Amino acid sequence: MFFCFMLVQFIVLRLGNQAGHGYLEVEQQEFVYFFLQCTVIVGWLLYVLIGVRIRNKKVYTALLATVTGLFALCAQMMLFAPANTSFYLALTGVTVLCLGVMLGAVYERLAAYIHAGAKAGYCIGIGYGAAVLLQYVLQLYLVFKPGLSLLLLISCAVLLLGFTAAPAKEQSAREVTVQRVPPVPLVCSVLIAFALLMFSSYFNSLIHHLQIASGYTDFNVYTWPRLLLIPGMLLFGFLGEVKGGKFLPVCALCIAMIALLNSVLSAQSYHLNMCLYYISLAAAIAYYHLTFLRLAPRTKNPAVWAAMGRVSDSLMVMASFALGLSRLSFTAVMVMNIAALVICIVFMAVKGDFNLHFTGEQPVKLQSEPAADVFLDLQARYGITAAEMRVFRELVETEDKQEAVAAKLGISVSTLRHHITSIYKKTGVQTRAALYKLIQKS
C-alpha cells in the first residue's frame, strides 16, 4: 500500500511540475511547485476534517473511494493532456488535492498496522526505494505513457482495496485508546524534522529553480543521483528497526553535517553535492516517517500526526520558496544551516536521541502475580502491541533469561530484544525491575 502511494505521488508530482510549461512565464512557473505543496497540505487537512466530522464507517469509506476514483481519472487525463494550457493547471490542482486526501488515509492506516506490530523500517525503506526505482526507470517520457497509465490504475486499485477492506487483526489508528504521548516528544520531533530538512532545502530549491530556468534540460532532479535514494532508504529504513531505531536520529544528524561540510568545502561540485543531498534526504525521510508513524497512535488525533513528517516536508519546501533560498547568498544559507544544526542537536538532546545505551534485562524477584486487567490497562495506556505484551508478561512474571523467554514464545532472541527495546521506549523505563514497579503503581 505504501509503495503504491509513493509511486502515484512521484508520478503525479512529476507531471504537476510540468504544469504551465510553455504557457506561463519562467518566474510564474516557479509558483507551480509552491502551489503543488500547498494543495497537498490542503488535501491532507480535508482528510483530517473528514476524520473529525464523519464517524459513520460506510460514509467514510465511500468518500475515500470517491476521492481515489476521482484521482485516478484526473491522473489519467494529466498523462495525455497538453501541459501548456490553463486546463492542465486546473486539472493538476484537483489531482494533487485528491492526493493530499489519500496521503492522510494511507499514513493513518500505515500507523495502525505499525502499532499492531508491522515492521515500520522495512515498510518505509523497501516501499520508498522500490517506488523511486520504478519511477526512475519509466522517467515519464512519452513512450512510457501507456505503461504509466496502467501502473496508475493498478496502484489506485490497490489503494482503494486498502481503504475499503477492514483490517482483520490490526486496529485502526482512530480506534486505539492509549495514554496520550506527552507534548514534548511531539514538538521536539517536528523541530528536528524541520531542521534535518533544512539541510537539503537549499539544494532542493536551487535545483528546481535551475531546472525550470533551463526548461528541464541542463538541470533536473530526476537524473541518476536520485537513484541514491534507493540504497539510502534501504539503509536508514533497516537502521530504524535496529534496537528500536535508537541509532537513526544520530546517523541522520551526522549525514546532514557531512553534507553541510561538503557544501562549504566543495561548493561548486554539482554532482557530489547532489549525491550528498539525496543521501541526507533519505536519512531525513526515514527519520520523520518512522518517528511520527510510531507516535501517531498514542496521540489524540492520529490522522494529524501520522502524516506530520510528510507534511513537514511540504512545509519546508514552501518555507524555502517563501525565503527565496535559491537566490540567497552562500553566507546567508550557511548561517541558516548552522542554526538548523544547533536546533537539531538541542532538541535531539531534549528528546533523548543521544541516549544510545541499550540496557539488558535485570532479573527481578516477584512478590505476586499481577492481575490480567493490569496488563490490559498498561497495553492501552502505553500503546503496547499484542506481541510486545506477551514479552512484557514474561519479563515481569518470570525470572527467565532472554534465551529462555525467546524459546518459550517461539521467537528469535533478536526479535525478543527488539520487542524489549520497544517496550522500554514506550514505557520510559530501562529495566525489568522498573517494569514490575510500573505494574505495582497501576
Query: Are 344 and 406 contained in the same domain?
Result: no
How is 153-206 classified by DSSP, letter by letter?
HHHHHHHHHHHHSPPSSSPPGGG---PPPPHHHHHHHHHHHHHHHHHHHHHHHH
Query: Are 73 and 9 contained in the same domain?
Result: yes
In this prediction, residue 116 has a pLDDT band, given cuts at 50, 70 and 90, of: confident
Tens of pLDDT, residues 161-211:
988 875 434 444 444 444 466 788 888 899 999 888 887 776 666 666 555
Query: Are 294 and 414 contained in the same domain?
Result: no
Residue 50 near residue 103 (C-beta atoms within 8 A):
no
CA angle 195, 200, 206 (to 5 degrees): 135
Do the domain assignments include residue 362? no
Quick check: 4 pLDDT over 90?
yes
CA angle 154, 156, 161 (to 5 degrees): 95
Query: Are 324 and 377 contained in the same domain?
Result: no
SS3 for 330-367 is: HHHHHHHHHHHHHHHHHHHHHHCCCCCCCCCCCCCCCC
Do the domain assignments include residue 55? yes
Query: Are 129 and 186 contained in the same domain?
Result: yes
User: Which residues make Cβ contacts (< 8 Å) with residue 118, sequence separation at least 6?
Assistant: 170
Do the domain assignments include residue 360? no
Last residue of a domain, one of 321, 351, 381: 351
Task: Indicate which CATH number applies to the domain containing 406.
Answer: 1.10.10
Can you give the pLDDT at residue 73? 95
> Three-state DSSP class for 136?
helix
Query: Are 333 and 427 contained in the same domain?
Result: no
Residue 107 domain boundaries: 2-351
Query: Are 229 and 328 contained in the same domain?
Result: yes
Do the domain assignments include residue 18? yes
Last residue of a domain, one of 285, 316, 351: 351
**Helix or strand run (H / E) with residue 31:** helix 26-53
Query: Are 82 and 134 contained in the same domain?
Result: yes
Can you give the pLDDT at residue 217? 54
Query: Are 428 and 304 contained in the same domain?
Result: no
Tens of pLDDT, residues 32-75:
878 888 999 999 999 999 887 887 888 888 999 999 999 999 99
Can you give the pLDDT at residue 102? 95
Can you give the pLDDT at residue 363? 46
Do the domain assignments include residue 356? no
Q: How many domains does the chain have?
A: 2
Report which DSSP code applies to 216. Answer: S
Task: Indicate which CATH number applies to the domain containing 310.
Answer: 1.20.1250.20
Residue 70 near residue 14 (C-beta atoms within 8 A):
no
